[in-house]
């Protein structure tokens, strides 16, 4: 199998970090998103939605969507567990990963894709009002996440999970929006330092 990767974009990075934490190495094909290589006939045939990451199997079939790719590797190599240990823990990790996606990551992506003229290549019809709506929401989301991290090491509890990967990639991508993490969010800053120091963060 091989992974179609997309450089600095948050979703391809989520899969790279996930694989690094698992110690899995697979061949990667770099897709230049700025040059719209994801819209090539080759990639469109694998994913009609024209997005990466994509995992291509040796039979030519394709698996798309970041968390679906992560789930496949979690299933075939459960150690170290990044998506929970038992029924309740797996559900809790799913909850926290989705909270990071549906709130934090989606809001940051909206500001970046709809509020930044340099992103017009990826988002031809930008809606600046949507960027502004989300820009206003982000400080409250960061404050809520800071509170959630009080007294716990990682986002879903005592162990590093996919929820940490989602949040790390979202917050690092937030740099393009110039929104600060907020000096007052001490739990969030402490967590961010901790997860950034893991070797996987360089993936």
Contacting residues toward a copy of itself, per CB under 8 A: 48-49, 63-65, 67-69, 71-72, 75-76, 86-88, 90-92, 94-95, 98-99, 102-103, 125, 127, 129-130, 133, 136, 144, 147-148
From 6, 18, 73, 71, select the one nearest 195 (Cα to Cα): 18
Return the closest-CA partner of residue 169 out of 122, 81, 105, 75.
105
Closer of 148 and 181 to a copy of itself (Cβ): 148
Least separation in angstroms between CB 115 and a copy of itself: 13
The least CB distance from residue 102 to a copy of itself, in Å, is 8
Q: What are phi and psi of 166, to 5 degrees?
A: -60, -45
Of the pair 35, 85, the CB lying nearest a copy of itself is at 85
Quote the least distance from Cβ 92 to a copy of itself, whole Å: 7
Distance of alpha carbon 102 from alpha carbon 187, whole angstroms: 21
What is the C-alpha separation between 118 and 154, in angstroms, rounded?
33
Query: What CA–CA distance (Å, rounded) separates 84 from 156?
Result: 9
Q: Which is nearer to a copy of itself, 20 or 148 (CB)?
A: 148
Least Å distance, CB 196 to a copy of itself, is 26
Tokens of 147: 């509170």
* Residue closer to a copy of itself, measured from CB, 49 or 186: 49
Nearer to a copy of itself, 143 or 198 (CB): 143
Rg over CA atoms, the chain = 17
């Amino acid at each position: 199998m091989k992974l179609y990767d997309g450089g600095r974009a948050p979703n391809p990075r989520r899969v790279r970090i996930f694989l690094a934490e698992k110690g899995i190495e697979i061949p990667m094909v770099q897709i230049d998103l700025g040059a719209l290589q994801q819209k090539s006939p080759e990639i469109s045939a694998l994913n009609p939605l024209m997005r990466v990451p994509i995992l291509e199997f040796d039979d030519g079939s394709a698996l798309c969507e970041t968390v679906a790719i992560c789930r496949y590797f979690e299933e075939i190599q459960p150690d170290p567990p990044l998506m929970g240990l038992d029924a309740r823990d797996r559900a809790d990790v799913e909850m926290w990963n989705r909270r990071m996606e549906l709130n934090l990551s989606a809001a940051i992506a909206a500001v970046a894709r709809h509020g930044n003229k340099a992103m017009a290549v990826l988002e031809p019809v930008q809606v600046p009002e949507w960027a502004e709506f989300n820009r206003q929401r982000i400080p409250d989301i960061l404050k809520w996440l800071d509170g959630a991290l009080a007294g716990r090491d990682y986002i879903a509890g005592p162990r590093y999970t996919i929820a940490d990967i989602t949040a790390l990639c979202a917050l690092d991508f937030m740099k393009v929006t110039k929104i600060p993490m907020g000096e007052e969010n001490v739990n969030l800053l402490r967590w961010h330092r901790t997860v950034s120091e893991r070797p996987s963060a360089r993936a």
